[in-house]
Chain A
Amino acid sequence: MTNHAVRNDAARSDAARNAALPLDTTDTAIATAATASGTAAAATSVSRSTPRRSNPRRSILRPTIWLPVVVALLVAGVLWELIAINNTYLLPRLGMIGQAIITQPSFYLENAWITLSEALIGLVIGFVAAFIVAVIVTESGILRRAIMPLAVVLNVTPVVAIAPALVVAFGFGPAPKLIVTALITFFPILMNVITGLNSVSPPILQVFATLRASRLEVLTRLRLPSSLPYVFAALKVVFPLSIVGAVVAEFSAPGAAKGLGTVISVASSNSRLAVVYAAILCLAIMGAVLLFLVTLLEKRVLRWHESQLLKRG
């Protein structure tokens, strides 16, 4: 159990590093972080107000809730402009990014939709596969010893390195993108679900052992519901990660397909920085919205769980 947990932590920090990498290299980290913290702050304000029976809208309107986010965004924007004004080849002016989007909004929408659908379909494939493997591995010791080493090898292999090979094998269609996204999301889900399935407390298992509940009953009635908090923890990591997977796969097949990754690689080879950053902004917004939706869903599904009680209390 402890072994699982440790490896699980490793997997998560690994995933976090992967997720941070492409953003760091593009200098939008600050802007993205600001957007993300904005949604997070809004989310907590809603949850905090519910037990007091006060109108959640009213608390969002309180300056102490929205002002920090707005100020942070303004500061980030001003810093950006200060750098961009004198270094147009380092950063495009914010106005130029806005203009790039406004002049052809359908271009960005279309490409964002393609990247998003690649990411989500790949994520579903990775999720289903990881969940099935997690159940198999927790139910059978022999299969665990057979499968886990393979899964670990898969995890330490940089998926970015596999992407070009997949493009050679499967062409410029959606297949390599889905495979890369599925691969990149597989391991964090696997480790979290394994930990979750094993998180039923021993006294509960003893009560149901004296009732001779079947393994299937223990799985469906005890283990699966117990794993939900861990599933959501995994989803919060892999939703943004799935977009990373889709973009990386698009980088490997440049020019031949659509998608924001393709937009970025084509535009950067033409030194059109405003377009590059407009696409990056789209990716950041997509990631933040996905994260927000997962958090909302978690709040609905995990009403019973400690993590949600803490936030509410």
Chain B
Amino acid sequence: MSTTRANASPDQIVVSDALKIYGGSGSSAQVTALSHVDLTVDRGQFVSIIGPSGCGKSTLLRLIAGLETADSGDVSVFGADPDQACAAKMIGFVPQVPALLPWLSVVGNVTLPSKVNRRADALRRTLPGHVHRDPADPRALLAKIGLGDALDRLPHQLSGGMQQRVAIARAFAIQADVLLMDEPFSALDEFTREAIQLQLLELWEQMRTTVVFVTHSVSEAVVLSDRVVVMSARPGRIEAVVDIDLPRPRRQGLLESAAMHEYEDLIRGKLQTAWASGPVAR
């Protein structure tokens, strides 16, 4: 539980030499989900993790979220361990499905996180990586993401894309230090997905919250990110890290630009080598 670690920086999320093995020790069904993974995310960066299914990208995200613990290695979130980070509400989690409470209105869903664990704010101020932010106005946030006229509706009255936008607003609403998104758009159709990506970008450019975004869509990773982490499977490891040097704010015109396609091809190439080397490395 020590907050002073050799590799713990108050302005970075650091995963060092993380190992995670599923299945009992010694059994043949053991799966090495993460093998000696190192990852550093700077404050304010948008980082995507991409890779084939089973490469441990979700596991990596869940380690940072404190939902699982590494078998060995270290995880620190802006100088705190994941457990403290959660207790201080530094982490906003957006799962694959919207996970809204069906009996609460849109506003109710977005404000609920601020009503639980009320001691978090006091704890947050004592942590070394603390950066003060004023509490977000949930209505303004929802208006920004295009849900201004759906505030009092129930989740079942919304489309899938709208529901996922509510889930994103919910994560932004606690003014978390980092948003962890686990393939949040994977269940949406392509049109909805592209629209919601741009909305996320717009919101992110205003808030500049650190984001770790798991995806299996190459174009999604390139459009959104400052940095793309390519992972490969069996055992789950980091294959390459690609910095995306495209200007922001990124808008519709950029999506068709040649520079973007170059990055996409580069990452597809890395993914193919990762795919080819996967079973051999086992």
4 nearest CB pairs, A to B:
A203-B99, A203-B95, A213-B116, A210-B93
When the two chains form the complex, which single residue of B96, B154, B174 contacts A203, counting CB atoms closer than 8 Å?
A: B96
B103-130 vs A, CB cutoff 8 Å, 1 = contact: the mask equals 1000000001101110010000000000
Contacts of A221 in B (CB 8 A): 101, 112, 115-116
- Closest-CB distance, B110 to chain A (whole angstroms): 12
Q: For the complex, would chain A's binding face be called helix, strand, loop or mixed by DSSP majority?
A: helix
- Which residues 47-95 in A have Cβ within 8 Å of B in the complex? none
- Closest-CB distance, B171 to chain A (whole angstroms): 8
- The CA of A207 and the CA of B173, in the complex, are separated in Å by 13
Q: Number of B residues contacting the other chain (C-beta, 8 Å)?
A: 29
- The CA of A304 and the CA of B102, in the complex, are separated in Å by 6
Q: Are B113 and A211 in contact (CB under 8 A)?
A: yes
Q: Offer 27 A-B interface pairs, CB within 8 angstroms, sorted by A.
A: A201-B97, A203-B96, A204-B99, A204-B101, A206-B93, A206-B99, A207-B93, A207-B95, A208-B113, A210-B86, A210-B92, A210-B93, A211-B89, A211-B117, A211-B174, A212-B86, A212-B89, A212-B120, A213-B117, A214-B116, A214-B117, A222-B101, A304-B154, A304-B155, A305-B102, A305-B103, A306-B156
Contacts of B120 in A (CB 8 A): 211-212
Contacts of A304 in B (CB 8 A): 102-103, 154-156
- Closest-CB distance, A183 to chain B (whole angstroms): 32
Q: Are B67 and A210 in contact (CB under 8 A)?
A: yes
Q: Are B86 and A209 in contact (CB under 8 A)?
A: yes
Contacts of A164 in B (CB 8 A): none
- The CA of A221 and the CA of B112, in the complex, are separated in Å by 9
* Nearest-neighbor residue (CB-CB) of B105 within chain A: A304
The verdict on A38 contacting chain B, using a C-beta distance below 8 Å, is: no
Q: How many A-B residue pairs have CB under 8 A?
A: 68
Q: Number of A residues contacting the other chain (C-beta, 8 Å)?
A: 22
Known: A211-B89, A304-B102, A309-B156. A203 touches B116 (CB 8 A): no
* Nearest-neighbor residue (CB-CB) of A201 within chain B: B99
Contacts of B100 in A (CB 8 A): 204
Q: Which residues of B contact A (CB under 8 A)?
A: 65-67, 86-87, 89, 91-93, 95-97, 99-103, 112-113, 115-117, 120, 154-156, 170, 174, 180
The verdict on A14 contacting chain B, using a C-beta distance below 8 Å, is: no
Contacts of B117 in A (CB 8 A): 211-214, 217
Contacts of B102 in A (CB 8 A): 304-305
Known: A304-B103, A304-B156, A309-B156. A208 touches B96 (CB 8 A): no
Q: Are B99 and A212 in contact (CB under 8 A)?
A: no
Q: Are B116 and A211 in contact (CB under 8 A)?
A: yes
- Which residues 159-211 in A have Cβ within 8 Å of B in the complex? 201, 203-204, 206-211
- The CA of A221 and the CA of B97, in the complex, are separated in Å by 19
* Nearest-neighbor residue (CB-CB) of B62 within chain A: A206
- The CA of A167 and the CA of B87, in the complex, are separated in Å by 55
The CB with the most chain B CB atoms within 10 A, among A212, A213, A222, A228, is that of A212
